[in-house]
Amino acid sequence: MVLPLVPQPASVTESPGVLALTGTTRIVVENEADAAASVLADMLADRTGLRPSVVAGNAEPGDIVVRRTARQGEDYTLRVGDTVRIEGAEAGLFYGIQTLRQLLVEDDGWTVPAVEIADAPRYSYRGVMVDAARTFLPVDTVKAVIDRASSLKFNRLHLHLTDDQGWRLHIDSRPLLTERGATTAVFGRPGGFYTKDDFREIVRYAAAHRMTVVPEIDLPGHTHAIGLAYPELVEAPVMNDGLLAQAESLGQDLPVAGEPYTGWGVGHSSVKIRDEATWEFVRDVLTGVAELTPGPYLHVGGDECLGTPQDEFDAFIERVTALTIELGKTPITWHEAGSAQVAEGTIGQYWGSTAPAGTHADEARRFAERGGSVIMSPSNTAYLDQKYDADFPLGLAWAALIDLETAYTWEPEDIVDGLPVEAIAGVESPLWSETIETLEDIDQLLFPRLAAIAEVAWSPRGRDWDAFRTRVGSLGGIWDAAGWGGHRPAEIDWSAR
């Protein structure tokens, strides 16, 4: 029997037999694992309709034991014999519960196969990005993405909060950002923004699902929306030959200063980098975001500044990453910022191809040289907003057509030559929002490719596509039962399990 586990655990030993879960099954808490017991009870009620009582004391055959260990980390063990026993720290217990969810089988009642699993992630950073700037995503939609991502053991939620099309987070000291800059979105869709309480609720919900929120304020480009609120802080839209050709190829209007931008062209906007009023603004904004963010990271953008002089761009990146550290956060930037003297310890996010073009590899290596690390998000394999095939109704295709096999069969260590293995922080899969409007649209682009990226980020090197396609096919029924929908590629044998 092939166990339907995604991501594939580090070690799995199967044994004959199954354990039945019944109305007498209890959850037995050991060593103050009460929080995990609550998560487990909710999962079982959702998946099986059974809600076992939570007790302390000695386990009996048929019980599920959750034991919190003193060690820290995301590793866990799961053993199924005459009981189910899950051990780990808080994060590890959560991930063990996600594994148990996938092991449950309905066959004249609910059973779990006898197995022993010892598991730990390959990478400590396993992220999903959602773009709330081009299309505003309500709080409940963001929570739904957290539900889906955390079930596959992702532990970072990167929120892209600002772009040319809209500003999505209220900043007390700069109220016009949301009063004027949040009113619209791509294609003239309705705008919106997160209040401080909205953002706190997203952070709280993510933490309950073992995910850390990584907010992004994209600078110095992707800043047209800032100009709607504070026009004195931004340059006039850049109109060089390359950007004019881009607008023509997209069939979209050029950006106009002071008017909302509803297209999806890039590279035409910038703050006034040499103006000290800009730096007062940047400090105000980043201070406000840092105060709202308990996690260690603050993403400050740094991509696609196509009309910005290189010396000005580099000066901005050097200063903004230093400011981020001053505010007590680890800066993350897109990989282009590697052209500058980024602050020591800055993390770069590589979004180039798996075959790096131009200066991309040099820029990525520079983060390691400066004591930082790199998150791998190659756009031709990890971008969830790209189409599965040319006929797929959602998504774009500027980076690649990304079917399930393409999303699975890439190796983070093989992209940037000379980048030390230990300098790879992990993997992140971005979902840009030009073509999505609903949660159903999001599910179509997430599933099943999100499962492929989850395995790239979690499982040991040496993954096998044929084994994965069998395992992921068995999860379709679980996703359907959860109401998660998604695309079902014909090359996968989808089980109703």
Annotated active-site positions, please?
A: 304
Q: Angle CA(450)–CA(432)–CA(416) in degrees, nearest 5?
A: 70
Structure tokens at 76: 């866990």
CA distance 303 to 174: 24
Q: How far does the chain reach from its first CA to its final CA, in angstroms?
A: 14
Amino acid identity of residue 121, one-letter, is: P
3-class SS of residue 347: strand
Q: In sequence order, which residues have a C-beta less than 8 Å from that of residue 97 and are 6 or more positions away?
A: 36, 39, 40, 43, 86
Handedness of CA 84, 88, 94, 99 (dihedral sign): negative
**How does DSSP assign 350-368, residue by residue?**
E-S-SS--TTHHHHHHHHH
Positive or negative CA dihedral for 73, 74, 79, 83?
Answer: positive
DSSP per-residue codes, 75-96 = -EEEEESSSEEEEESHHHHHHH
Phi, psi of 329 (to 5 degrees): -120, 155
- CB burial of 120-158 (b: ≥16 within 10 Å; e: otherwise) equals bbbbebbbbbbbbbbbbbebebbbbbbebbbbbbbbbbb
